[in-house]
Amino acid sequence: MTQERAEATRNTWLATLENFRRDPARPASADIWSPSLECASRDEIGAIQSEKLRAVVPFLYENSPFYRARFERLGQTPADYSSIEDLEKWPVVDKSEMMADVTNSPPWGGYTTVTDEIWSQRGWMLFSSSGSTGAPRPFRYTHVDRVQWAWANARGMHAMGFRKGESAFIMSGYGPHVFAWGVQVALETLDLPCIPGGGMDARARANVILRFKPTILVCTPSYALHLARVMQSIGYDPAETSVHTILIGGEPAMGIDATRKRIEGLWNARLVEFYGCTEVSPHVGGYSCLAAPKSGETVSTHVMEDIQIWETVDPDTRASQKPGERGLTVCTSLNSESSPQLRFLVGDYATFTQERCACGRTHARAIGSFAGRSDDLINLRGIKMYPTQIEEAVRAVPGIGDEYEIVLMRDTAGLDTMTIVCEHADHANGTVAQKISDEVRLRCEIRVDVTVNPLDTLPKTEFKAKRVRDMRGR
């Protein structure tokens, strides 16, 4: 890698990015921020993606040791990628490869293109994966990223109906996690006021809502539930507050009808979501629009296709799939200086459609939103299921409490078992347990034990819910 080529490819990529950052400061129309991008024909979308791909591939090759080594291993060069049709040649990159990379070259790894020099010249903020399952994977975001991010997320939040007169309350710990910061920077582009809600407990946050009357809450779905209950416990009805929109991220609640309706009912508010992950930021991946599903239809979540290329792959073979086929999400990130990725396996189950949405946008949508990371897959005696399927089953039973746990154990005979622990006012009545067991059997074709406790006896979830307790092998 020579310094000249590294700089030249970066400059070409930056110029291409700027060329397509249309309507940078304000929306071009009342409903759609950038109609020339968001309502473009499928051919135009493909042409924009191909042009950005032709710029980002050489940039990666010349600036990322991880990607350079992968090209060499595959016997490929950037010239092999002239359009999006070529993407299939690139085997999907997964998290384990990145983890090995950062372990071999700590602390930054070679998967990003930000050097110490760039960080010192235009570094903005560090974001990081938690590192709970290995070395943390850090990403050094630059001010180029900040500007692109603010614009892209503002487009997403405009689609959600964020307009003048609104004010947002961000209930986050303000750690190095992308969700809250991504909303924060975009609020500035939207020119909307914000109350930062770090360092407060739920009671303090409830009081902020009652006193300062924000119209939008930004939090995880678990926290929206938790805070509603805390508010009720101090004698207020969350449905009577100023809040009418809740922007969620971090957990797959949007596509779980019963959970979405529970949160919307408690707050008398509309749920909208951002979907994404640290690796393919700085950018909203998926976002809700205002086209409410007709009765009986499922929700859908858009992806922003002029900025990222989203596809699904077969969970076993990782072969590319067509729209309409259910598989694991993979993202090619075209707009990121800190983390431009080629076919990164984000790994949530989704089914994309390219049909034009009722809102007028032509960008693809995940029908039923995104259903949980493949890493979360529960394997019980060879039967595979997602915690979201169990959640649907539990919430299908009327009167069930907010909290529940999935406990996996290995009995003395070495057999793996699952027990669902939940709450219900009628806990002594065996029919509740039977109903839940039937609902699980219906969805997952597996028999489970169910323990029903009185309401408000399980530990309360605050931020991200940890629903699965796997005690096997302990």
Binding mask 230-269 for Zn ion (x = CB under 5 A): ----------------------------------------
Residue (of 395, 124, 410) closest to 263 by Cα position: 395
Amino acid at residue number 407: V
Q: Is the dihedral of CA 225, 230, 233, 236 positive or negative?
A: negative
Residue among 134 and 323 whose Cβ is closer to Zn ion: 323
Write down the least CB distance from residue 363 to Zn ion, Å: 8
What are the φ/ψ torsions at residue 233 (nearest 5 degrees)?
-65, -20
| Range in contact with Zn ion (rule: CB under 5 A) among 240-248, 288-296, 306-314, 424-432 | 288-296
Residue among 230 and 357 whose Cβ is closer to Zn ion: 357
Cβ atoms of 338 and 17 within 8 Å: the answer is no
217 binds Zn ion (CB under 5 A): no
Write down the least CB distance from residue 281 to Zn ion, Å: 22
Residue numbers 430-459 binding Zn ion by CB under 5 A: none
| Range in contact with Zn ion (rule: CB under 5 A) among 44-52, 198-206, 323-331, 349-357 | 349-357
What are residue 407's DSSP bridge partners? 419, 469
Give the C-alpha separation, 394 to 451, whole Å: 12
Residue among 116 and 355 whose Cβ is closer to Zn ion: 355
Write down the least CB distance from residue 253 to Zn ion, Å: 19
**CA separation, residue 291 to residues 18, 62, 130, 161, 359 (Å):** 30, 42, 35, 10, 5
Q: How many residues bind Zn ion (CB under 5 A)?
A: 5
The full DSSP string for 440-451 is: HHHHH----EEE
Cβ atoms of 35 and 29 within 8 Å: the answer is yes
The full DSSP string for 35-86 is: HHHHT--HHHHHHHHHHHHHHHHHHHHHH-HHHHHHHHHHT--GGG-SSGGG
Give the C-alpha separation, 256 to 201, whole Å: 27
Residue among 135 and 291 whose Cβ is closer to Zn ion: 291
Write down the least CB distance from residue 271 to Zn ion, Å: 15
What are the φ/ψ torsions at residue 99 (nearest 5 degrees)?
-65, -40
| Range in contact with Zn ion (rule: CB under 5 A) among 112-120, 289-297, 346-354, 372-380 | 289-297
Write down the least CB distance from residue 47 to Zn ion, Å: 22
100 binds Zn ion (CB under 5 A): no
Work out which of 195, 291, 408, 446 binds Zn ion, going by CB under 5 A: 291
Residue among 58 and 156 whose Cβ is closer to Zn ion: 156
Write down the least CB distance from residue 291 to Zn ion, Å: 4
421 binds Zn ion (CB under 5 A): no
Work out which of 37, 359, 393, 418 binds Zn ion, going by CB under 5 A: 359
200 binds Zn ion (CB under 5 A): no
Work out which of 70, 361, 373, 424 binds Zn ion, going by CB under 5 A: 361
> Which residue spans within 281-343 are E strands per DSSP?
286-287, 300-303, 308-313, 327-333
Task: Report the C-alpha dihedral over residues 170, 173, 174, 179, rounded to 10 degrees.
Answer: -60
Rounded to 5°, the CA angle 344-349-352 comes to 85
Work out which of 289, 303, 346, 422 binds Zn ion, going by CB under 5 A: 289
357 binds Zn ion (CB under 5 A): yes
| Range in contact with Zn ion (rule: CB under 5 A) among 46-54, 150-158, 239-247, 284-292 | 284-292
**Which spans of this chain sit near Zn ion (rule: CB under 5 A)?**
289, 291, 357, 359, 361
